[in-house]
Structure 1
Amino acid sequence: MTTATAGAGLSDADFTRFCEYFYKRTGIHFTPGKRYFVDKRIETCIRNSRYDNFAGWFAALRTSDRGEMAQDLINQLTVNETYFLREDYQFDAMLNTVLPSVIADRGGLQRMTGPVKILSLPCSTGEEPYSIALRLLEEWDLIDHVDVEIHGADIDSEVLAKASHASYGERSLHRVPKAWLAKYFVAVGAGRYQVEDGIRSAVTLHRVNICDTASMRAFRDYDVIFCRNVLIYFDELSSRRAAENLYGAMRPGGYLFLGHSESMSRISPIFTPTRLPEGLVYQRPTGGN
């Protein structure tokens, strides 16, 4: 026996088929406990399309897998809860321990070549990569002596557009010191502030699926990667594939930060857990290929 959902018209079989499709497309696994969330987002996607029921919409989706319908679906079903300076003890670790280690491992200031590369993946609406830039500008003594590249990447095209515009309200900015707000943001009305042009231009944004190995090959030689609170949405297989893709994106000896509830040790042995004064980080071994 199957049950239908009002609006989207999903039966239990439809829900299973859809979840299988979305998993293959993104690596994200939805359990039955997410049924209401998924149904409501699919209803929105159907309203955004020229179809009036799930069957027609889903058939068209599968035949235009790389088109606007597929991207609208991804945008609807990815979670983008974030704010500035979130879990900032990890930024402390980056400044106090990780970056000095990176510079030393690359031969010191006088000998290192190329920039220090930092990646925020997923970057959502941009709060994380811009937080990294703010912490470096305000608190890293070597910022005027070291070339730094900051990159942000996400699967969701809508949040990347918002990250590019970089306009934020009180909820996103509640942890930003007032002095930083005055120095690095411009008031744009209605309680919103936009990151000033210099910082926005210093962050390069990309659209990528972390589980898509072919797309992830474009990311190489990162010294530091923040990949926080995304692996919890993957099953074992997708998590392992994401870990391997992150490994391939890093320079040997590079550092990986995960969310506080995530553990790479449960996913893959390819990274070395390293205990820092501020907390746990994972390294790509220097002897790896």
Structure 2
Amino acid sequence: MAKVTISEDDFQKFQEYFYRKTGIQFDTAKRYFVDKRLVERIEANDCDDFRSYFTMLRFQASGAELQALVNLMTINETYFFREEYQFDCLVNSILPELVARKKDRAPIRIWVLPSSSGEEAYSIAMCLLERWPGIVQWDVEIISSDIDTRILAQARAGCYSERSIKHVPRAYLQRHFRTTADGYQLSDDLRCAVEFTRVNLMDAADVRPYRNFDVVFCRNLLIYFDDLSRKQAAETFYDALVPGGFICLGHSESMSRISSLYKIRKFPEAIVYQKPRETP
């Protein structure tokens, strides 16, 4: 079988298709990255060329190949306690404000995406256990979502390298991890504290069930979207949040440049964004 090549026209067709499906747009600077992974999947499916593979990809009823491609194309770069000041903000400012106005005893619901390999959601769970006195009185649900099924399986397993845990306080490491042959594994209790789900943020049917969240963490995802996809994501989060709910973005992201739906909240620890509360 001759070596498969990806032409400029092939790249553009794939670029447009992948953007429509995921909201992620690869520019020409990512050609080598995209081409390499496309060729890998073309060969894995015994297709003769890009054209036959692309036809299969678009019309496959199960969507299994698209998912396999998504798993290859998405970038999962994270570690425990990344941008920790936002976790301090959650514990010291956001949660006290939320519980002060909660009229019922419904659980506090937190949505984290992208999940990647789980470090962010598990960091939140650890912060609540270690730093928030309210955890004794309040039930908390943490749901962490990603489009990549392979990385979600890793997150559920809770196994991490030395690099991933480099910012975990020593006391937390002793209490919540056990050493393994390859690194560390999170305790069963903490792994059970987070529910991991597969979600495509650009798919209306996927996100429709996600409602009534008090806090959303969506950090360093929107930088991979264009303006239109960012606006769509902002509207999705708006629908997912309760009135008065909060969203935390990455340090280089600004909701003010994306959508006028939210108001800026400047807490001592961090700037976050809030869905306005309904008028009484």
* TM-score between both structures, scaled by the size of structure 2: 0.96
Letter in 1 for 2:188: D
Report the residue type matching 1:139 in the other structure.
R
Separation in 1 of the partners of 2:43 and 2:160? 28
Q: Which residue of 2 aligns with 1:239?
A: 230
Q: Amino acid of the residue matched to residue 195 of structure 1?
A: L
Matching of residue 223 in structure 1 with residue 219 in structure 2: no
1:258 to 249, 252, 273: 249
- Of 271, 277, 280 in structure 2, the residue corresponding to residue 286 of structure 1 is 277
Counterpart Cα distance in 1 of 2:129 and 2:186: 14
1:8 deviation in Å?
4.3
Q: Does 1:71 align with 2:67?
A: yes
Kindly provide the CA deviation profile for residues 2-60 of structure 1, in whole angstroms up to 9, marking residues without a partner as x. xxxx9541111110000010011111111112111111221222233232432221111
Instruction: After the TM superposition, list the runs of 4 or more consecutive aligned residues in structure 1 that deviate by more than 6 angstroms.
Output: none
Answering whether residue 41 of structure 2 is matched by residue 45 of structure 1, we say yes
Give the corresponding residue for 1:56.
52
Given candidates 13, 17, 20, the residue that maps to 1:21 is 17
- Secondary structure of 1:240's counterpart equals helix
Q: After superposition, where does 1:92-241 map in structure 2 within 5 Å?
A: 92-107=88-103, 112-190=104-182, 192-241=183-232
1:89 aligns with 2:81: no
Offset of residue 174 of structure 1: 0.5
Shift, 1:65, TM fit: 6.0
| 2:251 partner SS | coil
Partners of 2:208 and 2:259 in 1: CA distance? 19
CA RMSD for the aligned pairs? 1.4
Distance in 2 (CA, whole Å) between partners of 1:142 and 1:91 is 15
Tell me the SS of whatever aligns to 2:278. coil
Q: For this pair of structures, how many residues does the alignment match?
A: 278
Using the alignment, how far apart are the partners of 1:87 and 1:232 within structure 2? 16
Paired residue secondary structure (1:85):
coil
> Gaps (5+ residues) in structure 1?
1-5
Tell me if structure 2 keeps the 8 A contact 1:8–1:39. Answer: no
Conserved in 1, the CA contact under 8 Å of 2:142 and 2:194? yes
The 3 A distance-change label for structure 1 pair 156 and 65 is: farther
Cα shift at 1:274: 1.0
* Equivalent AA in structure 2 for residue 171 of structure 1: R
- Secondary structure class of the residue paired with 2:214: strand
Alpha-carbon offset, residue 121 of structure 1: 0.9
Matched-pair contact (CA < 8 Å) for 2:108–2:214: yes
Identity %: 48
Unaligned runs of 5+ in 2: none
Provide the C-alpha distance between the structure 2 equivalents of 1:164 and 1:239, rounded to a whole number of angstroms. Answer: 28
Secondary structure at 1:286's aligned position in 2? coil
Contact 1:152 1:203 in 2 (8 A): yes
**Displacement after TM superposition at 1:186 (Å):** 1.6
Structure 2 partner of 1:3 = none
C-alpha separation in 1, matches of 2:246 and 2:151: 25
User: 1:92, 1:7 → 2: CA distance?
Assistant: 52
Check whether the contact 2:265–2:271 (CA below 8 A) recurs between aligned residues. Answer: yes
Instruction: Provide the rounded CA distance (Å) in 2 between the counterparts of 1:14 and 1:287.
Output: 49
**Contact 2:105/2:138 (<8 A) preserved:** no
Distance 1:8 1:133 in 2: 46
